[in-house]
């Protein structure tokens, strides 16, 4: 990820251009310098915390992925080493698990975009000028944040269970065969992920569409563009920063997800990388493999996100 892209993703669009700050007199510059020192004092404690509890642990994890197990050691006992073979081994064993995890994450992200965009558009554009209704629906969008996510996944287990009315209904209309089921399928896992990360998709798009100038949509109509064409050529390009933020915020947790895979899938065909990391750490006490898997997962995500931002980013993002 380029620094500029990271900066744009973490700062809002109204960011003040430093070049627009007027020149300062000598005296003002002196105060600016002392204020600069205050700025350092402000950021140092937080950055020190992030350095100690994020940056160092990532290196710690990279180091651990290279540890070796000495001859005759008990499970969970490793010594520092430089055993690159762990990477080759986990990639050959779990290569298809990686493919599956990213495929699940990709499908869930696209599905969340297809559902989240109309939602955000409805609240931000259609209901403009009706603040009470807007506020209420916004509360509904953020409501899932206030209810336990494990309990929500458990609800999906009820809804998709073999005895539920959903499955009964789908069988009645012959969408699902008589012996078909929804739990323990990849579909259930992806549906669970889509549901879980939908607010993360909807909120950034909403924040973007909220600022959309509807006169531009009207201008599209005045220039004889149809509704769909106006959307494609005016609204969608203008909302790209929101779409970018939403898709990235959805894709990242979805690719590391394992709660959905365990609770809704729990099946060899739905195993995700997160699940393997968890079981390597806690059941096999195979710390180097778990660390190597995490490192590869993080590396792939960073590469994918950087490529995505480069490819689809609007001019100001790249």
Partner 1 sequence: MSTQQSGSTEAPVSIDQAGPTPRSRRGLDVGRWFVPVIGGLAFLYLLVPIAYIFVFSFNDAGRTNLTWRGFTLANWQDPCRPSQLCEAFVNSLNVAVIATVVATVLGTMIAFGLERYRFRFAGSANLLIFLPLATPEVVLGASLLSQFLNLGVQLGMGTTVLSHIMFCISFVVVAIRARIATLDPALEEAAADLYASGRTAFWRVTFPLLIPGIAAAALLSFAISFDDFIVANFNSGAFTTFPQYAYVAARRGIPAEVNVLGSAMFFGAIALVLGVQLWRYWRNRRWATL
Considering only residues 202-241, where is the footprint of partner 1 by CB under 8 A? Answer: 203, 207, 210, 213-215, 217-222, 224-228, 230-231, 235
Q: Judged by CB, which is closer to partner 1: 63, or 186?
A: 63
Instruction: Pick the binder of partner 1 from 110, 137, 184, 240 (CB under 8 A).
Output: 137
Nearer Cβ to partner 1 (40/177): 40
Rounded Cα gap, residues 107 and 247, in angstroms? 11
Query: What is the CB neighbour count within 10 angstroms for residue 169?
Result: 11
Q: Whole-number minimum distance, CB 88 to partner 1, in Å?
A: 20
- Minimum CB–partner distance for residue 288 and partner 1 (Å): 10
Could you say which of 73, 103, 131, 237 contacts partner 1 (CB under 8 A)?
131
Q: Which range, of 92-100, 134-142, 167-175, 182-190, touches partner 1 by CB under 8 A?
A: 134-142
- Classified as helix, coil or strand, 68 is strand
CB of 48 to partner 1, least distance (A): 9
Residues 1-60 contacting partner 1, CB under 8 A? 1, 3-4, 6-7, 9-12, 14-16, 18, 31, 35-36, 38-43, 45-47, 49-51, 53-58, 60
CA atoms within 13 A on the CB side of 101: 28
Which residues inside 147-206 make contact with partner 1, applying CB under 8 A?
A: 147-152, 154-159, 163, 195, 198-199, 203
Q: Which of 230, 232, 272, 269 is nearest to 255 (CA)?
A: 272
Site for partner 1 in 250-269 (CB under 8 A): 252-253, 255-259, 263
Pick between residue 84 and residue 142 the one whose CB is nearest to partner 1.
142
* Number of C-beta neighbours around residue 107 at 10 A: 18
Query: What is the closest distance, in whole angstroms, from the C-beta atom of residue 269 to partner 1 in the complex?
Result: 20
Crossing angle of helices 3-10 and 240-255, rounded to 10°: 100
d(CA 297, CA 123): 35
Residue (93 or 211) nearer to partner 1, CB: 211
Query: What is the rounded CA–CA span in Å between residue 97 and residue 270?
Result: 9
- Choose which of 66, 167, 244, 305 interacts with partner 1 (CB under 8 A): 305
What's the min distance (Å) between Cβ of 168 and partner 1?
14
Measured distance CA(193)–CA(182) in Å, rounded:
15
Q: How far is the CB of 284 from partner 1 (least distance, A)?
A: 13
Q: Which is nearer to partner 1, 189 or 291 (CB)?
A: 291
DSSP, collapsed to helix, strand or coil, labels residue 11 as coil
Residues in the chain: 318
Closest approach of partner 1 to the CB of residue 92, in Å: 21
Tell the smallest beta-carbon distance from residue 141 to partner 1 (Å): 7
Instruction: Dig out the tokens for 177 from the structure.
Output: 């065969």
CA 211 from centroid of its chain's CA atoms: 23
Residues touching partner 1, count (CB under 8 A): 123
What does 109-177 look like in DSSP terms, one character per residue? HHHHHHHHHHHHHIIIIITTT-HHHHHHHHHHHHGGGGS-HHHHHHHHHHHHSTTSHHHHHHHHTTSS-
Rg, Å, the chain Cα set: 24
The Cα–Cα gap between 309 and 3 comes to 12
């Amino acid at each position: 990820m380029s620094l500029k892209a990271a900066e744009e993703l973490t700062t809002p669009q109204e960011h003040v251009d430093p070049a627009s700050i007027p020149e300062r007199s000598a005296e003002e510059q002196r105060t600016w310098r002392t204020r600069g020192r205050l700025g350092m004092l402000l950021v140092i404690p937080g950055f020190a915390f992030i350095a100690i509890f994020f940056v160092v642990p990532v290196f710690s994890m990279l180091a651990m992925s290279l540890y070796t197990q000495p001859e005759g050691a008990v499970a969970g006992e490793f010594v520092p080493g430089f055993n690159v073979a762990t990477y080759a081994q986990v990639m050959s064993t779990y290569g298809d698990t990686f493919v599956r995890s990213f495929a699940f994450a990709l499908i869930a992200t696209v599905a969340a975009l297809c559902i989240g965009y109309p939602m955000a558009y409805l609240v931000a554009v259609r209901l403009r000028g009706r603040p009470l209704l807007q506020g209420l629906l916004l509360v509904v969008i953020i409501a899932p944040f206030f209810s336990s996510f494990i309990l929500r996944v458990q609800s999906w287990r009820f809804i998709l269970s073999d005895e539920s009315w959903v499955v009964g209904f789908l069988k009645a209309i012959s969408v699902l065969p008589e012996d078909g089921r929804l739990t323990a399928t990849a579909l259930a896992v992806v549906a669970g992920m889509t549901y879980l990360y939908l607010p993360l998709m909807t909120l950034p798009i909403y924040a973007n569409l909220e600022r959309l100038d509807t006169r531009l949509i009207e201008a599209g109509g005045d220039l004889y563009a149809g509704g769909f064409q106006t959307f494609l050529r005016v609204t969608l390009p203008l909302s790209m920063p929101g779409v970018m933020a939403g898709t990235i915020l959805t894709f990242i947790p979805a690719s590391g997800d394992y709660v959905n895979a365990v609770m809704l899938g729990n099946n060899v065909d739905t195993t995700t990388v997160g699940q393997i990391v968890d079981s390597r750490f806690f059941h096999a006490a195979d710390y180097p493999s778990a660390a190597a898997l995490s490192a590869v997962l993080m590396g792939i995500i960073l590469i994918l996100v950087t490529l995505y931002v480069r490819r689809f980013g609007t001019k100001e993002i790249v």
